[in-house]
Chain A
Amino acid sequence: MDSLKFETSKNLMDQDVKAKDNSILSIENLSTGYRLSHSRTISLHQNLNFKVGIGELITLLGPNGAGKSTLLKSLVGIIPVLDGDIYYNGTNLKNLSRKEIARLVAVVLTDKIDDKYLSSYDIVGTGRYPYGSFTGKLTAVENKKIINALNVVGANELIYRYFHSLSDGEKQKVLIARAIAQDTPIILLDEPNAFIDSPGRVIIMNLLNELILKHNKTILLTTHDTELALRYATSLWLLGKENYFKVGTPDKMAESGLINQLFDREGVVFNKVSKRFETN
């Protein structure tokens, strides 16, 4: 692949996607990566700037190892940022307690959950943990929210089944239900389609759309499934190695040739018209 020219994200900000002034999430000069020791850091992206509006479905698209997961997790505070600031509704992440953050952002990750005795109900129940008493006892109201969340994802019959006995698709639904139960304006999903078959992916994406339209959520997800990303995203963020970061609408991104730049390989090319990868 040709080496990519470094361009700031501002240059490519599409006029159609105007950042709202009261953006729900905004990043300033963010640098993501890992601090291994006092002196050694691995820097993935530097000086990122963007604003996320309410009701957006933002897809972070990029090849493996680009730093999508790191960026996502940095937004929640799971991975510490190297530099810069993150604002939720105007408040700096650093000034929010973990609990406050938990009431703003819920996540769905790729982490394997090994426990044999957790039921779907238990899993979704942890979504209610930022609220309620410390004893963990779930009131009737809480109980309702849990059942409700499972309803939304269409997983009612899974309520009392052991989580680890579910299929990957079912597990994903339950984890999304958990995020829903957490009652947050924002939901972040890391590779939600990773182990799901094609029809399953469509179901998940439709579900996410529903969450935005009917439940007022704002969603960010990471994926390396270009076609799905182009179909559903309101805004596409292209991430690549060596600090590559570009933002735009799916159409603009497809036309711009950036997807080719990022993804084209020997013998396989992204077709801007059909918006698919095809052999050369």
Chain B
Amino acid sequence: MNSNKHRRLIFVILPILIVVLFLINLWYGSVNISWIEVWETLMMNGNTSQTSKIIILQYRLPQAITAMAVGIGLSIAGLLLQTTFSNPLAGPSVLGISAGASLGVALMVLLGGVVGVQLSSISMILGDMAIVLAAFAGALAVLLIIIFVSGKVGNAVTILIIGIMIGYLVSAIVGTLQFFSSSEDLHAFILWGLGSFSKTSITQSLMIFIVTFVVFVVTMVYVKPLNALLLGQQYAISSGFSVRLLQSIFILISGFLIALGTAFTGPIAFVGLAVPHIARTFLRTSNHGVLLPAVVLIGAALTLGCNFISKLPGYDASLPINAVTSIVGAPIVIWVIIKGRRMTNG
């Protein structure tokens, strides 16, 4: 069958593309480092300068790994959410979980100024981890609310609406906090909100990647119920699945992935929403057995690509990641949807 060949092609090309993009991200940056030097550094060859080693191994490498991990995590989350809620517009932002992470960070960074405490001092004790923990706490708090609600309310649309409303509520609280904060705190919070893959150490980035990958493997166990959900909740139940329980599980997995990403990188726009659509349209299937691995590959390639683009301008600074993912993501989704429409209508 035609699409099978198509599929095989994509599953061969994408991994290669990812490797290439990964290496490009290691080689290209504001500081000129020759390709040979990058190679030798990676090979742990002692000949390279200390500066190059630090830049490549402690800055660019964790950046690339984190980019991939978050690309993968958000894409899986987006796919799970779109299936669970039978809604093509579902994405990490839709459940208010990203907003929850923002709230956690906002409370940490902004509230201090309002209450008269220099909260950056707490972050000085815990270091970067303070922000990470705050983001996690915020995201998981919202997540728990959503899961609680989804347990009581089976209807997917209702849960979705509640999630969106929570998102709005949380954003409003954040806005209020911003209003009352000093300009330095505000500046710090805004910077966080721009999203960045450069905030992790090499250990952290590897941890995020491994955890994300483990979650991916776990998610593959749920291919059948995910496919069954495509027929609707009632058909899914009749196929032998406990839909409410599964809904909660999928929300939990998505929420965890979103919290993980957001905690370490700040909110990353668009990836979770766009990648499942790209996967579906190119592979012309809704079978999660194919889609899950596909979104993993496409997600990794997309974020690596965006990370590279963000470094492009050639100024000594990079573009904020969120700007790039949105600018790249939106046209892709539009193109993909139009292309998809033309095909299925023909």
State if A and B touch, Cβ cutoff 8 Å: yes
Instruction: Classify chain A: how many residues form its interface, as a range.
Output: 35 or more
Digitize B323-346: 1 where CB-to-A-CB distance is under 8 Å, 0 elsewhere: 000000000000000001000100
Q: Across the interface, which residues of A come within 8 angstroms of B86, CB to CB?
A: 114
Which one, B130-138, B204-212, B237-245, B304-312, is touching chain A? B237-245
Please provide the chain A residues from 50 to 105 with a CB less than 8 Å away from any CB of chain B in the complex: 73, 76-78, 97-103, 105
Complex alpha-carbon distance, A102 and B243, angstroms: 13
With A122-B227, A126-B227, A162-B344 already in contact, the answer to whether A117 and B286 are too (CB < 8 A) is: yes
Complex alpha-carbon distance, A182 and B285, angstroms: 22
Q: Across the interface, which residues of A come within 8 angstroms of B232, CB to CB?
A: 109, 111-113
Complex alpha-carbon distance, A78 and B286, angstroms: 24
Q: Across the interface, which residues of A come within 8 angstroms of B220, CB to CB?
A: 135
With A98-B242, A102-B238, A117-B280 already in contact, the answer to whether A123 and B231 are too (CB < 8 A) is: yes
B234 interface hit (Cβ, 8 Å): yes
A111 touches B344 (CB 8 A): no
* B238: contacting residue among A100, A105, A112, A113, CB under 8 A: A105
Complex alpha-carbon distance, A137 and B287, angstroms: 11
Digitize A224-257: 1 where CB-to-B-CB distance is under 8 Å, 0 elsewhere: 0000000000000000000000000000000000
A272 interface hit (Cβ, 8 Å): no
Digitize B162-192: 1 where CB-to-A-CB distance is under 8 Å, 0 elsewhere: 0000000000000000000000000000000
A129 interface hit (Cβ, 8 Å): yes
Q: How many residues of B contact A (CB 8 A)?
A: 28
B10 interface hit (Cβ, 8 Å): no
Q: Across the interface, which residues of B come within 8 angstroms of A101, CB to CB?
A: 240
A266 interface hit (Cβ, 8 Å): no
Specify the chain B residue showing the minimal Cβ separation from A118.
Answer: B286
B235 interface hit (Cβ, 8 Å): yes
Q: Across the interface, which residues of A come within 8 angstroms of B237, CB to CB?
A: 76-78, 98
Closest-CB distance, A70 to chain B (whole angstroms):
12
Q: Across the interface, which residues of B come within 8 angstroms of A97, CB to CB?
A: 240
* A122: contacting residue among B235, B239, B286, CB under 8 A: B286
Closest-CB distance, A91 to chain B (whole angstroms):
16
B224 interface hit (Cβ, 8 Å): yes
Complex alpha-carbon distance, A101 and B227, angstroms: 19
Specify the chain B residue showing the minimal Cβ separation from A105.
Answer: B238
With A98-B241, A136-B289 already in contact, the answer to whether A164 and B227 are too (CB < 8 A) is: no
Interface centre among B220, B227, B241 (most CB of A within 10 A): B227
Q: Across the interface, which residues of B come within 8 angstroms of A182, CB to CB?
A: 239
With A126-B228, A135-B220, A136-B224 already in contact, the answer to whether A117 and B285 are too (CB < 8 A) is: yes
Interface centre among A76, A126, A127 (most CB of B within 10 A): A126
Please provide the chain B residues from 194 to 225 with a CB less than 8 Å away from any CB of chain A in the complex: 220-221, 223-224
Interface centre among A77, A102, A106, A182 (most CB of B within 10 A): A102
Closest-CB distance, A99 to chain B (whole angstroms):
4
Q: Across the interface, which residues of B come within 8 angstroms of A130, CB to CB?
A: 239-240
Closest-CB distance, A117 to chain B (whole angstroms):
4
Complex alpha-carbon distance, A102 and B239, angstroms: 5
Complex alpha-carbon distance, A99 and B240, angstroms: 4
Complex alpha-carbon distance, A109 and B280, angstroms: 26
B24 interface hit (Cβ, 8 Å): no
Complex alpha-carbon distance, A164 and B1, angstroms: 19
* B286: contacting residue among A98, A106, A115, CB under 8 A: A115
B234 touches A73 (CB 8 A): yes
Digitize A21-62: 1 where CB-to-B-CB distance is under 8 Å, 0 elsewhere: 000000000000000000000000000000000000000000
A176 interface hit (Cβ, 8 Å): no
Q: Across the interface, which residues of B come within 8 angstroms of A76, CB to CB?
A: 237-238
B344 touches A116 (CB 8 A): yes
Digitize A166-207: 1 where CB-to-B-CB distance is under 8 Å, 0 elsewhere: 000000000000000010000000000000000000000000
B14 interface hit (Cβ, 8 Å): no
With A77-B237, A78-B237, A99-B240 already in contact, the answer to whether A160 and B231 are too (CB < 8 A) is: no
Closest 8 pairs between A and B when the two form their complex, measured CB to CB: A102-B240, A99-B240, A117-B286, A136-B223, A130-B240, A111-B232, A136-B224, A107-B238
11 contacts between A and B (CB under 8 A): A98-B241, A109-B235, A114-B86, A117-B285, A117-B286, A118-B286, A126-B239, A130-B239, A134-B221, A137-B289, A162-B344
Given A77-B237, A165-B344, 20 more A-B residue pairs with CB atoms under 8 Å apart are: A76-B237, A78-B238, A97-B240, A98-B237, A98-B240, A105-B238, A107-B238, A109-B232, A111-B235, A112-B232, A113-B235, A117-B280, A126-B231, A126-B235, A129-B227, A129-B240, A134-B221, A135-B223, A135-B224, A164-B344
